[in-house]
Amino acid sequence: MHRSANAFDAPTVVDAIARNAGDATVTMLDEDDAGTAISWSAVHQQARRMATVLGAKGIGPNRRVGVLGDTSIDLIAAIQAVWLVGAAVTILPAFAPGAPDEHRRNVAAIIADARLDLVVADGRTAPAAHYVRGRAMTLAALVTAAQTVDPSSPRRIAPASLAVLQYTSGSTRAPRGIAISHAHLAANLTAIGGAVEYGSGTRTDRVLSWLPLYHDLGLICFLVLPMSAGGELVLQSPMAFARRPVSWLEAIAKHRITVSGAPNFAYELMTRVLARGLPLDLSSLRLLISGGEPVHADTMARFTTAARRCGVDPAVVTPAYGLAEATVAVTISLLGAGVSVDEVDALVLESTGRALPAAPGARTRHLVKLGPAVRDTSIRIVDQRTNEPLPERTVGHIEVRGPSVVGKGWLRTGDIGYLTDDRQLIVCGRAKDVLISCGRNIFPQDVEAAAARAPGIRPGRVAAFGIPGDLGDSLVIAAEADGDGTDELRRSIVAAVLDRVGLRPHAVVVVPPGELPRTSSGKLRRAEARRRYAAQALDRSQERTFP
């Protein structure tokens, strides 16, 4: 069933879901890429019966429900049911990198901070039962109870009421909840839908996602948007992707997907997969979002070159920028523009904060344009000392405001960057992560991208940070790798960083796979790596200092 361009343009997600629950299907893929399809109408009916069960347990307006489990149709219906009774939902991380004990502590901290009235946990997500304390029920029990009750009518929800308590864990702090109202959610869904032309004209999009639902990109862009619009959706488990990444591309080809997306690291993986020469037809794609983490120009260039052999038009790859405090999307690149790069003089950028074209022979930095602000959202760059607005092509703190941004007035994002002459956003890095050495602002992402070029190092497996030195910050690089050939690996890392960044590392630490600290969504925690290094908690037995 085709939906109009403003199918999600409703006061609340509840209004949109009730209005658009039709014959279009959501398909949940299993490990063999076989799918179980069910109509949104059937999902909505199941959710309404689940809402009756939740209501009998005292769940309603001003209540909060945590949902924990792998992606499934039942889990999606449970999320919808929470909204139908007027409550707010928190998606708890079912999987996370690192040790199980750390994951358990992280989930327990979220449950305590969120003051959840109920946790619905899928017992198949081992060991979910160990994470949940207090008032809880299993997803299986909710499904069973819902089979014998009458469906509830959706409640009328005030736009100002809480819709999602979205948790984000930074590099130095405990998990922090972002209170997203129904008004925030509706505004961002409308903005995203307009920017990507979802459901416009006579086209019927078919969306695919393997992203975890506890991540805002997976939840809002790739579940709530098609769910609230009643559009075709195909879902994979995040664990299925982790076990066999090529399954993402195979599902795109098999189901003739038109819209999908992922963070930068996934495109790096797919570049290696495509290098095998797999006979995949990916020509159905019209939109591939790259967001959720910094978008690297080199990665996207290699991916588009490799994917072109499978019928992917480079113009469909669309970088984007967002954050939980803005619901999710802040900028989305113009459709059909592909990955546009701003090539600037690296030394001028680092020493003066101005993004200027490089002179012949100068060291350059290639920065991906992340697009203009989405509908009704404003972006400004302010001076890092005076807080005064800065002109285009001048680096400063990135601030945003708009109807999908939590809080009043301008929100400081924590990122630094600049606006191009045509008001496209470019992010240079996290303000708290920047190293200052010999009068230069060194961005860890540049160092990490250079170090990842060393043989045996994968992107996302390198952390760069600074420690106090005689001339400012001294650069330390920690890299995950197998234990063989570490001396040669260190030399390769030093050579790559010196060549591309122009800075010699003070120390290179080689650690076993999985030792670098990460957030629940897999992002590097550089400040925590710095803390562990200073406390010698990071395995430094293989460290070497370079004079």
Strands 25-29 and 232-235: parallel
Give which of 63, 84, 57, 56 is closest to 162, Cα–Cα. 63
Residue 96 pLDDT greater than 80, yes or no: no
Counting residues of the chain whose pLDDT is more than 70, the rounded percentage is 91
Cα first-last separation, the chain:
66
Instruction: Indicate the pLDDT class of residue 520, thresholds 50, 70 and 90.
Output: low
Q: Which of 37-46, 302-311, 444-453 has the lowest mean pLDDT?
A: 444-453
pLDDT at 540: 55
Distance CA 212, CA 271 (A): 21
Residue 4 pLDDT greater than 60, yes or no: no
Domain ranges, ordered by start, for the chain: 13-243, 341-432, 434-545
Distance CA 92, CA 210 (A): 16
Instruction: Indicate the pLDDT class of residue 505, thresholds 50, 70 and 90.
Output: very high
Q: What is the DSSP letter of 524?
A: B
Q: Residues 115-127: pLDDT tens digits? A: 999 999 998 775 5
| Contact predicate 237/70, CB 8 Å | yes
**Rg of the Cα atoms in the chain:** 23
Residue 173 pLDDT greater than 60, yes or no: no
Instruction: Indicate the pLDDT class of residue 511, thresholds 50, 70 and 90.
Output: confident
Q: Residues 48-76: pLDDT tens digits? A: 999 999 999 999 999 999 999 999 999 99
Distance CA 330, CA 314 (A): 23
Distance CA 270, CA 289 (A): 14
What value does the mean pLDDT take over residues 78-99? Answer: 89
pLDDT at 77: 98
Q: Which of 165-174, 251-260, 342-351, 457-466 has the lowest mean pLDDT?
A: 165-174
pLDDT at 171: 42
What value does the mean pLDDT take over residues 483-489? Answer: 77
Q: Residues 446-468: pLDDT tens digits? A: 899 889 888 878 777 899 999 88
Give which of 409, 444, 411 is closest to 427, Cα–Cα. 444
Phi and psi dihedrals of 450, rounded to 5? -70, -45
DSSP assignment string, 32-64: TS-EEEEEHHHHHHHHHHHHHHHHHTT--TT-E
What value does the mean pLDDT take over residues 519-527? Answer: 77
Distance CA 407, CA 432 (A): 22
Residue 193 pLDDT greater than 90, yes or no: yes
pLDDT at 517: 85
| Strands in 21-161 per DSSP E | 25-29, 35-39, 64-68, 88-92, 118-121, 136-138
pLDDT at 133: 59
Distance CA 68, CA 64 (A): 13
Distance CA 238, CA 284 (A): 22
Give me the CATH code for the 341-432 domain, please.
Answer: 2.30.38.10
Classify the C-alpha dihedral 197-200-206-209 as positive or negative: positive
Mean pLDDT of the chain: 90
Neighbouring CB atoms inside 10 A of 23's CB total: 10
pLDDT at 55: 97
Distance CA 219, CA 76 (A): 10
pLDDT at 71: 95
Distance CA 264, CA 250 (A): 19
Instruction: Indicate the pLDDT class of residue 419, thresholds 50, 70 and 90.
Output: very high
pLDDT at 62: 95
The verdict on domain 13-243 having CATH code 3.40.640.10 is no
pLDDT at 417: 97
Give which of 503, 511, 389 is closest to 450, Cα–Cα. 503
pLDDT at 30: 86
What value does the mean pLDDT take over residues 14-39? Answer: 91
What value does the mean pLDDT take over residues 483-505? Answer: 86
Strands 64-68 and 35-39: unpaired
Strand pairing partners for 326?
Answer: none
Distance CA 303, CA 314 (A): 9
Strand pairing partners for 465?
Answer: 476
Largest CA distance in the chain: 74
| Contact predicate 183/160, CB 8 Å | yes
Give which of 522, 524, 526 is closest to 218, Cα–Cα. 522
| Contact predicate 392/374, CB 8 Å | no
pLDDT at 485: 67
pLDDT at 538: 65
Residue with tokens 């010196």: 498
What tokens appear for 20 in the block? 């658009």
Q: Residues 255-294: pLDDT tens digits? A: 999 999 999 989 999 999 999 989 999 999 999 999 998 9
pLDDT at 99: 64
Give which of 343, 348, 345 is closest to 358, Cα–Cα. 345
pLDDT at 221: 97
H/E element, 73: helix 73-84
Burial class (CB in 10 A: 0-12, 13-18, 19+), 298: middle
Q: Is 460 helix (H, G, I), strand (E, B) or coil?
A: coil
Instruction: Indicate the pLDDT class of residue 11, thresholds 50, 70 and 90.
Output: confident
Distance CA 281, CA 455 (A): 30
Q: Which of 159-173, 224-238, 379-393 has the lowest mean pLDDT?
A: 159-173
DSSP assignment string, 294-310: PPPHHHHHHHHHHHHTT
CATH class belonging to 434-545: alpha beta
Instruction: Indicate the pLDDT class of residue 41, thresholds 50, 70 and 90.
Output: very high
Contacts of 111 (CB under 8 A, 6+ apart): 66, 92, 119, 131, 132, 133, 134
Counting residues of the chain whose pLDDT is more than 90, the rounded percentage is 67
What value does the mean pLDDT take over residues 207-236? Answer: 96
pLDDT at 107: 85
Residue 178 pLDDT greater than 80, yes or no: yes
Strand pairing partners for 518?
Answer: 524
Q: Residues 532-544: pLDDT tens digits? A: 888 875 655 555 5
| Contact predicate 292/267, CB 8 Å | no
What value does the mean pLDDT take over residues 117-142? Answer: 79
What tokens appear for 269 in the block? 């993986």
| Contact predicate 190/403, CB 8 Å | no
H/E element, 184: helix 182-196
Distance CA 129, CA 518 (A): 23
Phi and psi dihedrals of 324, rounded to 5? -60, -35
pLDDT at 375: 96
Q: Is 209 helix (H, G, I), strand (E, B) or coil?
A: strand
Q: Which of 261-265, 333-337, 459-463, 481-485 has the lowest mean pLDDT?
A: 481-485
Strands 411-419 and 425-430: antiparallel
How far from the centroid of its chain's Cα atoms is residue 22's Cα?
A: 29
What tokens appear for 254 in the block? 């098999």
Distance CA 532, CA 537 (A): 5
